[in-house]
Homo-oligomer: A and B are copies of this chain.
Amino acid sequence: MTALIGIDWGTTSFRAWRMGAGGEVLETVEDGPGILAAAALPGGFRQAIDDSIGPWLGAAPIIASGMITSRNGWVETPYLPLPLDARALAASLTLHQGIHFVTGAVSGPDGPAPDVMRGEETEIIGHLAGGGTDGLFVLPGTHSKWAQAGGGQLTAFRTVMTGEVFAALRDHTILGRLIRPGAGSADAFRRGVEAGRQDGALLGRIFSARTLALMNRLAPGDIADYLSGLLIGDEVAQGARAAAGPVTIIGRGDLALRYRTAFAVLGIDARIAPPGMARRGLWEIARMGKLL
Binding site for B on A (CB under 8 A): 71, 109, 112-116, 143, 146, 158-162, 164-165, 167-169, 171-175, 194-195, 198-208, 211-212, 214-215, 217, 231, 234-235, 238-239
Asked if A174 and B164 make an inter-chain contact with CB atoms under 8 angstroms apart, the answer reads: yes
Q: How far is the CA of A208 from the CA of B108 in the complex (A)?
A: 11
Which residues from B are CB-within-8-Å of A114?
Answer: 208, 211-212, 215, 217
Which residues from B are CB-within-8-Å of A164?
Answer: 173-174
Asked if B204 and A202 make an inter-chain contact with CB atoms under 8 angstroms apart, the answer reads: no
Q: How far is the CA of A201 from the CA of B200 in the complex (A)?
A: 6
Asked if A211 and B113 make an inter-chain contact with CB atoms under 8 angstroms apart, the answer reads: yes
CB-CB nearest in chain B for A237: B200
Q: How far is the CA of A203 from the CA of B143 in the complex (A)?
A: 10
Asked if A112 and B206 make an inter-chain contact with CB atoms under 8 angstroms apart, the answer reads: no
Q: How far is the CA of A288 from the CA of B175 in the complex (A)?
A: 36
CB-CB nearest in chain B for A113: B208
The distance from the CB of A193 to the nearest CB of chain B, in whole angstroms, is 12
Q: How far is the CA of A175 from the CA of B167 in the complex (A)?
A: 14
The distance from the CB of A240 to the nearest CB of chain B, in whole angstroms, is 11
Which residues from B are CB-within-8-Å of A201?
Answer: 160, 200, 238-239
Given contacts A114-B215, A174-B164, A211-B116, contact A159 B194 (CB under 8 A): no
Asked if B231 and A203 make an inter-chain contact with CB atoms under 8 angstroms apart, the answer reads: yes
Asked if B116 and A161 make an inter-chain contact with CB atoms under 8 angstroms apart, the answer reads: no
